[in-house]
Structure 1
Amino acid sequence: MTNTLIFVDLASEDPSKAGDFYAKVFGWQNDARPEGVYHRMVPGGFFKKSDGTDSEIGNLHLGIFKAANARPHPEPEGVEPRVLSADGRKPRVWVLISDDDSADRILGTAEDLGATILWRNHYWKEFNGYNHAFRDPWGNEIVLWGKAGQDPQIPADFTRE
């Protein structure tokens, strides 16, 4: 058996506010553990089988940790650095757009809550998906992926690669 990816954490100066942000943008449950220190974002539901029914595998969760004292750590007071990374590339988190949601709604909500839209309306043939991206108020990059389907009809205003 291979090693299994179980979680990805994002840094924030205010995990409570970041948890509220992601709850509003994606409709996830904001599970504070403990409040203001570490928040687990629970999307709910299960990965789908090819026939559209639920598998036994639950959707992945996202963590949000306080940059000033990233937990867990053996030192109760934490260690440096205690600030968000500002320069250069960072990891990106990819989120599949639900069939009952839209990129426009997600991007609009994110922007209303302080996110910066990085780009929108791009088709990536390699993975047959419609992509859009934003930077949350804490500098984390989120890339949205929408299913293009078997015979994608790419809108004329979309860039392509």
Structure 2
Amino acid sequence: MSKPNTLIFVDLTSDDPAAAGEFYADVFGWENDPRPYGVFHRMVPGGNMYDSNGNETTIGNFHLGIHKADNTRPHPNNEGADPREIAGPGSKARVWILVSDDDTMEDILERAVSKGAKVLWKDHFWYEFNGFNSAFEDPWGNEIILWGKGGAEPQIPAHFTTE
């Protein structure tokens, strides 16, 4: 294989993709693109990725999909496949979101909670990847990790947990 396989986007599960699309549009400011409405919603963050020098590239940011739990598309069977419910408690895939320079984790958490999310943890620094992070669970049980770059000499507040 001469080229690696490419990650296109990741789907979240919801029993109400339209409401989930509105949630993510309100919390992160993303475009909610229903395809079709209530069945699959593509969340479009807009903008482009940056290179290691901080310069904007021509590569667009990844999209996030939201699919309907009781009939996940695409699927060869028109009725979809089991299971047909949103994920319950326990370990599951997590989605990592890099917080932009013109937003804050606190503001994002506040918007998410006001829309029905639950804060899982906050105010943590991970030395291995030089990042500040917090996490919430959306109203459909999906886990979202917020990430902020630590920089060359990160100033870690005394109340933060670290690892």
Determine the C-alpha separation between the residues in 2 that align with 1:134 and 1:87: 13
Cα distance, 1:81 vs structure 2: 1.2
Report SS of the residue matched to 1:107: helix
1:112 to 114, 127, 143: 114
Given that residues 89 and 141 in structure 2 are in contact (C-alpha distance below 8 angstroms), is that contact kept between their aligned partners in structure 1? Answer: no
- Equivalent residue pairs, number: 161
Within a 5 Å distance, the mapping from 1:105-144 to structure 2 comes to 105-144=107-146
- Paired position in structure 1 for 2:156: 154
The alignment status of 1:93 with 2:61, answered yes or no, reads no
Determine the C-alpha separation between the residues in 2 that align with 1:104 and 1:144: 10
- Paired position in structure 2 for 1:15: 17
Report SS of the residue matched to 1:85: coil
1:57 to 56, 59, 80: 59
Determine the C-alpha separation between the residues in 1 that align with 2:137 and 2:161: 20
- Paired position in structure 2 for 1:47: 49
Cα distance, 1:84 vs structure 2: 1.0
The alignment status of 1:33 with 2:35, answered yes or no, reads yes
| Identical pairs, percent | 61
Give the RMSD, CA atoms, in angstroms: 0.8
Cα distance, 1:53 vs structure 2: 2.4
Determine the C-alpha separation between the residues in 2 that align with 1:52 and 1:151: 17
**Runs of 4 or more off by more than 6 Å in structure 1?**
none
Cα distance, 1:26 vs structure 2: 0.5
- Paired position in structure 1 for 2:82: 80
Cα distance, 1:56 vs structure 2: 1.6
Cα distance, 1:88 vs structure 2: 1.7
Give a deviation string over 1:66-115, Cα, whole Å, max 9, x none: 00100000011112211112132110000000000000100000000000
